[in-house]
């Protein structure tokens, strides 16, 4: 049975991805700060703060001992806020890079070489429309997401002959808690929550990518709401 590890899987896109992969028959490991360590049929939850490499080490050792090397790694955990360059503190910038980008590196660094040694595996990176367009107020977020795009491209090159597949999924706005502080419905120029995609839409894209025949590499998927006006 294939094993999938999803970071940031307590709610939103990560939870939907975990549920969809479970429904597709995989053994799913969910990681997030608010989850408790538990195991059940084809499920394992691990409490993990992805900004803390020691916490990631603990999670990976537990997975190694109990399940072995995951077949699918979904680097999803992320934070988001809108602040101009002048309003963005060094702490804001650093927290965004650590959560969104460094954590993806730490997981990929620990797991992808083992996938390559085994000759198969799939790294899915949850990017964003902000991994290819710069929006006002997204200095930190865009730095992290463009960084993820760069890392995805390099890992794709490095693993191209190993049997490991890599997919970057880049969604536009999705109606999750990540938008609560922004409150887009009250602000002109933002996609309204009713028009946003659903977490399940992103999950369906991930399932599509990881269930293609081994000969097919789905390198990138961009998703946008059907009704969408990009912010400036
Ligand atoms: P949510 O805020 O709904 O969920 C974020 C998830 O990340 C939660 O499970 C949270 O778990 C986890 N997380 C955050 N910080 C940490 C941490 N330090 N350690 C462990 N887990 C953490 O956001 P979304 O589901 O919307 O976002 C998921 C991903 O999708 C992000 O990478 C985001 O950038 C990306 N994305 C989202 C879009 C959107 O419009 N919603 C559009 C494009 C991309 P917990 O708090 O329990 O730790």
Which mean pLDDT values do the consecutive 10-residue runs of the chain (232 residues) have? 97 98 98 97 97 97 97 98 98 98 98 98 98 97 98 98 98 98 93 97 98 97 91 65
Report the alpha-carbon distance of residue 100 to residue 104 in Å, rounded: 7
Length of the chain counted residue by residue: 232
Q: How far is the CA of 130 from the centre of ligand 1 (A)?
A: 14
57-82 residue pLDDT tens: 999 999 999 999 999 999 999 999 99
Q: How far is the CA of 106 from the centre of ligand 1 (A)?
A: 17
CB-based pocket (< 6 A), ligand 1: 8-14, 32-34, 48-51, 76-80, 99-100, 126, 128, 171, 173-174, 176-178
Q: Given this model, what pLDDT does residue 113 score?
A: 98
- Alpha carbon separation from 211 to 28, 110, 124, 203 (Å, rounded): 15, 23, 12, 12
Active-site annotation holds for 228: no
What's the topology of domain 3-223?
Rossmann fold (3.40.50)
Q: Given this model, what pLDDT does residue 228 score?
A: 87
The residues, ordered by sequence, that sit 6+ positions from 59 with a Cβ below 8 Å of its Cβ are: 31, 46, 48
Helix, strand, coil proportions of the chain in percent (round to 5)? 45, 20, 40
Token readout for 104 is: 């993806």
148, 162 contact by CB (below 8 A) = no
Q: Given this model, what pLDDT does residue 230 score?
A: 74
Report the alpha-carbon distance of residue 119 to residue 49 in Å, rounded: 29
Q: Given this model, what pLDDT does residue 69 score?
A: 98
pTM as predicted: 0.98
CA angle, corner 125, sides to 103 and 136, nearest 5? 85
Q: Given this model, what pLDDT does residue 48 score?
A: 98
Within 10 angstroms of residue 22's Cβ, the number of other Cβ atoms is: 17
Report the alpha-carbon distance of residue 101 to residue 103 in Å, rounded: 5
Report the alpha-carbon distance of residue 222 to residue 207 in Å, rounded: 14
Q: Given this model, what pLDDT does residue 93 score?
A: 98
Q: Is the C-alpha dihedral spanning 50, 54, 55, 57 positive or negative?
A: positive
Q: Given this model, what pLDDT does residue 232 score?
A: 58
- Residue from 9, 10, 12, 96 to probe ligand 1 pocket by mutation (most atoms less than 8 Å from CB): 12
Report the alpha-carbon distance of residue 128 to residue 99 in Å, rounded: 15
């Amino acid at each position: 049975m294939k094993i999938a590890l999803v970071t940031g899987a307590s709610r939103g896109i990560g939870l939907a991805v975990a549920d969809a992969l479970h429904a597709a028959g995989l053994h799913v490991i969910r990681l997030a700060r608010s989850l408790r360590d538990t195991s059940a049929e084809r499920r394992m939850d691990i409490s993990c703060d992805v900004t803390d490499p020691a916490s990631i080490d603990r999670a990976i050792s537990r997975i190694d001992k109990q399940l072995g090397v995951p077949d699918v790694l979904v680097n999803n955990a992320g934070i988001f806020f809108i602040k101009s360059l002048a309003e963005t503190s060094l702490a804001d910038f650093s927290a965004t890079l650590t959560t969104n980008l460094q954590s993806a590196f730490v997981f990929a660094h620990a797991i992808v070489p083992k996938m390559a040694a085994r000759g198969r595996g799939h790294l899915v990176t949850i990017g964003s429309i902000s991994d290819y367009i710069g929006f006002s107020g997204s200095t930190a977020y865009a730095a992290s997401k463009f960084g993820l795009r760069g890392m995805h491209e390099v890992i794709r090159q490095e693993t191209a002959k190993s049997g490991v597949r890599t997919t970057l999924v880049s969604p536009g706005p999705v109606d999750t808690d990540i938008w609560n502080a922004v409150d887009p419905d009250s602000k002109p120029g933002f996609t309204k929550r009713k028009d946003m995609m659903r977490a399940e839409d992103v999950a369906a894209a991930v399932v599509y990518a990881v269930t293609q025949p081994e000969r097919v590499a789905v390198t990138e998927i961009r998703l946008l709401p059907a009704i969408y006006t990009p912010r400036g």
